[in-house]
Amino acid sequence: MKTGILTKPEIQELFSSMITKNGEESRIFVPATIEGRVILEEFSPEREIFYDFANFLRPPKGIFFPQREVLCSFEQERAVEVPPAAGRIIIFGIRPCDARSFLFLDKIFSAGSSGFADPYYLGRRENSVIISLSCIEPSEGCFCTSLGGGPGDESGSDIVAFDLGDRLLFEAHSAKGENFIEENTTEFRQPDAADQNAKKESLQAAFNAISRISTDGLVEKLDDDFSDSFWEEITATCLGCGVCTYLCPTCHCFDITDEKDRDGTGTRVRTWDSCQYPLFTMHASGHNPRAEKKQRMRQRIMHKFSYTPRTTGDVFCVGCGRCVRKCPVNLDIREVIRKINGE
């Protein structure tokens, strides 16, 4: 495994030099603050990388799978495809839970599970380097360690960076990551024993702060015919908004609509959709198979914890805790799982 140390100012310099390098343009996304909000923002040399945060409000999925994307434009009978944006994408500073979510999205948008490869998602994703930043202070509501993740988990990351205060320890976990360190090897210094110790300590503290749920045998438990009353009970206070799904790093459902002007020109647009909206399953006839919120919440839980484990082998939840923290009525997915467990 290739490793390297950079100080924080050196990282700033490295990225500044990478926006255009050897004739190749890169879009680099880094943690930054705008008016007190920490967001994943496109890097420019003037933008200072921000390290003191727990996680971003929004998941990073929008970089590869934008909330709104024009797929093609048309004029009467003629359609013009809008090609996916080209160029390299470097994402720095997302947490390991979010990096892990890319592995799941890859399965959905590549030919593997569906038989259809999505050129828009893959066009961006394949030309990307993911450098995640280990978790130092997990938030209340985080539960990644129950789902195979962890504060320094490498799944989905080409490189995991560990924040050691004034400097970062980089560890490559893929060929892309190795190349990245190789290409910039003059910049990196080799970690020593003190660096490794600092890394271990920060990870342990973070690990201890993360809440846990049990997902053992959950697929089978969900197979049991859960009475309507169970779902009704847990969704009694649900408002029916889309916060949990839009802030979820693994939720990937979308809608495609044609927006036509009077003159016959228009665009075909893909937008995020949410299983929590009644329109999600509304039929043209007016019939809605999931007319009630208990059915919609059941879909959300079943999709993540029953259907995707069967179709892709993975639980589609990374335990980032966004839905836990941001639900306006504190409908806590950890609690739902515990109830399903009979705890």
Partner 1 sequence: MIEVQNQMRILASDLIRQKRVDFIIGYEQGTLAHTSRPCIIDVRTSGPEVSEKLVWNSYCSNNLSVYLQKFFAPPVQGRKKDAAPPLRIGLIVKGCDLRSVLNLIREKQVPRENLILIGLPCTGMLDKKKMEINKDELDIEKNIQDSCLECRFSNVKGVDFEITGKTREVPGDLYEVVRLFEARTRKDRLAYFEKEISRCIRCNACRQACPSCYCRECFADQKDMKWLGSGTMSDTMIYHLIRIFHQAGRCAECDACFRACPEEIDLRTFTRKLAKDVEELFGFVTDFNRESIPPLSTFSSGDSDSFITEPEEGG
Task: Considering the complex, state which of residue 122 and residue 282 has its C-beta at the smaller distance from partner 1.
Answer: 282
Instruction: Note the Cα 121 to chain centre separation in Å.
Output: 13
Q: Can residue 82 be called a binding residue for partner 1 (CB under 8 A)?
A: no
Q: Which residue stretches of 5-95 are H helix? A: 8-18, 61-64
Tell me if 70 sits within 8 A of 268, measured CB to CB. Answer: yes
Residues 6+ apart with CB under 8 A from 257: 268, 269, 271
Q: Can residue 274 be called a binding residue for partner 1 (CB under 8 A)?
A: yes
Cα separations (Å) of 223 from 128, 220, 339? 38, 5, 15
| Options 79, 85, 117, 239; binder of partner 1; rule CB under 8 A | 239
Minimum CB–partner distance for residue 116 and partner 1 (Å) = 22
Minimum CB–partner distance for residue 244 and partner 1 (Å) = 9
Q: Can residue 58 be called a binding residue for partner 1 (CB under 8 A)?
A: yes
Considering only CA atoms, which of 55, 82, 80 is closest in space to residue 68?
Answer: 82
Minimum CB–partner distance for residue 193 and partner 1 (Å) = 35
The terminus-to-terminus CA distance of the chain in angstroms comes to 41
CA distance 150 to 97: 7
| Options 44, 57, 87, 201; binder of partner 1; rule CB under 8 A | 57
Task: Considering the complex, state which of residue 112 and residue 240 has its C-beta at the smaller distance from partner 1.
Answer: 240
Q: Which 3 state secondary structure label does DSSP give 195?
A: helix
Q: Which stretch binds partner 1 (CB under 8 A): 25-33, 109-117, 153-161, 320-328?
A: 320-328
Minimum CB–partner distance for residue 123 and partner 1 (Å) = 21
| Options 24, 48, 140, 182; binder of partner 1; rule CB under 8 A | 140
If you ran DSSP here, which 8-state letter would residue 88 be given? E
Minimum CB–partner distance for residue 271 and partner 1 (Å) = 5
Question: Per CB under 8 A, which of residues 240..259 are in contact with partner 1?
Answer: 240-243, 246-247, 255, 257, 259
- Please tell me the count of residues contacting partner 1 according to CB under 8 A: 37
Q: Can residue 296 be called a binding residue for partner 1 (CB under 8 A)?
A: no
Minimum CB–partner distance for residue 148 and partner 1 (Å) = 22
Minimum CB–partner distance for residue 186 and partner 1 (Å) = 40
| Options 282, 302, 311, 341; binder of partner 1; rule CB under 8 A | 282
Task: Considering the complex, state which of residue 199 and residue 325 has its C-beta at the smaller distance from partner 1.
Answer: 325
Q: Which 3 state secondary structure label does DSSP give 200?
A: helix
Q: Can residue 138 be called a binding residue for partner 1 (CB under 8 A)?
A: no
- Strands 254-260 and 167-172 turn out to be unpaired
Q: Can residue 81 be called a binding residue for partner 1 (CB under 8 A)?
A: no
In this structure, the dihedral spanned by the alpha carbons of residues 179, 103, 100 and 6, taken in order and rounded to 10 degrees, is 10
**Token pair belonging to 81:** 């495809």
CA distance 277 to 215: 27
41 φ/ψ angles, rounded to the nearest 5 degrees: -125, 150
Question: Per CB under 8 A, which of residues 190..229 are in contact with partner 1?
Answer: none
Q: Can residue 237 be called a binding residue for partner 1 (CB under 8 A)?
A: yes
Q: Where are the beta strands (DSSP E) in 176-311?
A: 254-260, 265-272
Tell me if 30 sits within 8 A of 56, measured CB to CB. Answer: no
Report the interface residues with partner 1, using CB under 8 A: 36-37, 57-58, 67-68, 140-141, 236-237, 239-243, 246-247, 255, 257, 259, 269, 271, 274, 277-279, 282, 324-326, 328-332, 334-335
